[in-house]
């Protein structure tokens, strides 16, 4: 019996390929498609986004590169994908631009729910009136304290109270909306035993069982 050496099929190795070393941002490489009502204007330091709801600007780093492979498509890239910082900003910048397009087109909204006996909210004029960081309205809430708590509504956020236990927030900036929703929630975060608190969107809390003595 003659033993013959096993022949292993040749495999092409692309050692110089960026994808072989994980040097491509899976998020950043995805093209951004935008409607004809939106105009994107890249500059050396930002990307200006103009849409039906207004204009905003997304700051960018000098190593970011933007091209338009089609009239309704923006492609985002970086100078050197082997640098960790550039890869991180690649995906982050792409996400911020996509959010800005959605914000200037339809905006963002979130609902807050007050859960607890006697918990309720109301929208009322702010006695201090409009000012820095204030629109002239405030949210008054009863959330288990011996007194009401008040949260001034920023000028760039629209707030409504369609029901005593529901607060509706709307804004063209997703980050500002999330920041304000978190500010309201901090007055009474959901607790894990009875589930009382202020919930943001579809948030859920896993309830804990109290140990019997």
Residues 23, 81: contact at Cβ < 8 Å?
yes
pLDDT in tens, 80-126: 988 999 999 999 999 999 999 999 999 999 999 999 999 999 999 99
pLDDT in tens, 137-189: 999 999 999 999 999 999 999 999 999 999 999 999 999 999 999 999 999 99
Residue 8 has pLDDT above 60, yes or no: no
The whole-number pLDDT of residue 104 equals 97
The whole-number pLDDT of residue 20 equals 38
**Sheet holding 137-142: strands in order across?**
120-125, 137-142, 149-152
Give me 25's structure tokens. Answer: 């941002």
The whole-number pLDDT of residue 208 equals 80
The whole-number pLDDT of residue 10 equals 38
Mean pLDDT throughout 125-142? 95
Look at the alpha carbons of 11, 17, 19, 20 in this order and tell me if their dihedral is positive or negative: positive
**170 Cβ contact partners less than 8 Å away, ≥ 6 residues apart:** 107, 108, 109, 157, 158, 159, 160, 177
Residue 201 has pLDDT above 50, yes or no: yes
Residue intervals in the chain for CATH 3.90.930.12: 32-106, 109-200
CATH architecture of 109-200: Alpha-Beta Complex (3.90)
Instruction: Report the C-alpha gap between 186 and 191 in whole angstroms.
Output: 12
Give me 23's structure tokens. Answer: 């040097």
pLDDT in tens, 41-53: 999 999 999 999 9
Residue from 198, 191, 203 nearest 119 by CA: 198
Q: Which fold has domain 32-106?
A: Outer Surface Protein A; domain 3 (3.90.930)
Residue 2 has pLDDT above 70, yes or no: no
């Amino acid at each position: 019996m003659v033993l013959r050496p096993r022949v292993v099929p040749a495999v092409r190795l692309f050692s110089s390929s960026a994808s072989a070393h994980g040097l491509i941002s899976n998020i950043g490489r995805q093209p951004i498609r935008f409607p004809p009502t939106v105009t994107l204007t890249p500059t050396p330091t930002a990307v200006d986004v103009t849409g039906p709801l207004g204009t905003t600007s997304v700051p960018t780093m000098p190593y970011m590169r933007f091209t338009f492979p089609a009239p309704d498509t923006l492609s985002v890239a970086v100078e050197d994908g082997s640098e960790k910082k550039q890869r991180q900003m690649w995906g982050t910048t792409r996400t911020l631009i996509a959010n800005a397009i959605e914000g200037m087109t339809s905006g963002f909204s979130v609902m807050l729910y007050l859960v607890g006996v006697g918990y309720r909210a109301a929208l009322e004029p702010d006695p201090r009136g409009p000012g820095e960081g204030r629109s002239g309205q405030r949210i008054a809430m009863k959330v288990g304290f011996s007194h009401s708590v008040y949260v001034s509504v920023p000028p760039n956020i629209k707030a409504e109270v369609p029901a005593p236990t529901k607060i509706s927030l709307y804004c063209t900036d997703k980050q500002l909306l999330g920041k304000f929703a978190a500010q309201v929630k901090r007055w009474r975060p959901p607790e894990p035993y009875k589930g009382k608190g202020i919930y943001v969107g579809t948030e859920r809390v896993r309830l804990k069982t109290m140990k019997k003595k």
